[in-house]
């Protein structure tokens, strides 16, 4: 069973000339590994919350990126020498090693969820509370939006940065069928209500 802790709840706030944004950052602990999902862009908050969890950057074994938008990965420089993973490749310095299905040496499933970005992936972790999906920007809200979590609203929610709308809707449907809880890229964790 995977242990999970949200280190940063992602936010996206309109600013005078653009946005202030950092993704949700999740710590997964599985089979003795500390895995950071989407370390985000807020350096001070990440370091503070890692310390509160009793960890330092040197205690992180792997970093998983759901996709390549900078608000999800700018903090990777805090973790020199740590292996970086995306949906199917482990990057270890200049070595690239393919993998599939699960994060190597763990029970954490990797699921392709294209649409917001072509390379987008989500993670599924079996926890004491059920199946939790860490979805990056498959689902996200800016801070001024009401977070509607009924299935119809979730499936049809507009995404101003979408690359492929039909793929995004299909990816959302897939995750909504298998997750008990969803941790979005920006916004609050929510339970999936079916039927």
Question: Model confidence over 89-118: pLDDT tens digits?
Answer: 999 999 999 999 999 999 999 999 999 999
Instruction: Tell me how far apart the alpha carbons of residues 133 and 80 are, in angstroms, rounded to a whole number.
Output: 27
- pLDDT tens digits for range 28-54: 999 999 999 999 999 999 999 999 999
% of the chain exceeding 90 in pLDDT: 95
Residue 2 pLDDT more than 80?
yes
Say which residues have a Cβ less than 8 Å from residue 175's Cβ, sequence separation at least 6. 111, 113, 122, 133, 135, 138, 182
Instruction: Tell me how far apart the alpha carbons of residues 100 and 152 are, in angstroms, rounded to a whole number.
Output: 31
Distances (CA, A) of 135 to 23, 119, 157, 176, 189: 11, 13, 15, 11, 10
% of the chain exceeding 70 in pLDDT: 99
The 3-state secondary structure of 22-64, one letter per residue: ECCEEEEEECCEEEEECCCCCHHHHHHHHHHCCCCHHHCCEEE
Predicted structure pTM score: 0.96
Domains of the chain with CATH codes: 3-191 (3.60.15.10)
Question: Cα angle at 155 between 153 and 157, to 5 degrees?
Answer: 60
């Amino acid at each position: 069973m995977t242990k999970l802790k949200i280190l940063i709840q992602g936010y996206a706030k309109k600013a005078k000339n653009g946005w202030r944004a950092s993704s949700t950052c999740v710590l997964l602990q599985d089979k003795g590994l500390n895995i950071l999902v989407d370390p985000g862009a807020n350096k001070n908050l990440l370091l503070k919350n890692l310390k509160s969890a009793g960890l330092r950057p040197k205690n992180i074994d792997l970093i998983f990126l759901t996709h390549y938008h900078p608000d999800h990965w700018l903090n990777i420089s805090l973790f020199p020498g740590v292996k970086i993973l995306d949906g199917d490749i482990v990057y270890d310095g200049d070595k690239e090693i393919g993998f599939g299905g699960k994060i190597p040496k763990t029970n954490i499933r990797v699921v392709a969820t294209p649409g917001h970005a072509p390379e987008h992936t989500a993670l599924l972790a079996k926890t004491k509370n059920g199946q939790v999906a860490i979805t990056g920007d498959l689902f996200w809200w800016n801070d001024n939006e009401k977070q509607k979590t009924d299935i119809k609203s979730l499936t049809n929610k507009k995404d101003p940065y979408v690359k492929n709308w039909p793929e995004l809707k299909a990816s959302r449907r897939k995750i909504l069928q298998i997750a008990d809880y969803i941790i979005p890229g920006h916004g609050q964790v929510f339970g999936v209500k079916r039927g």
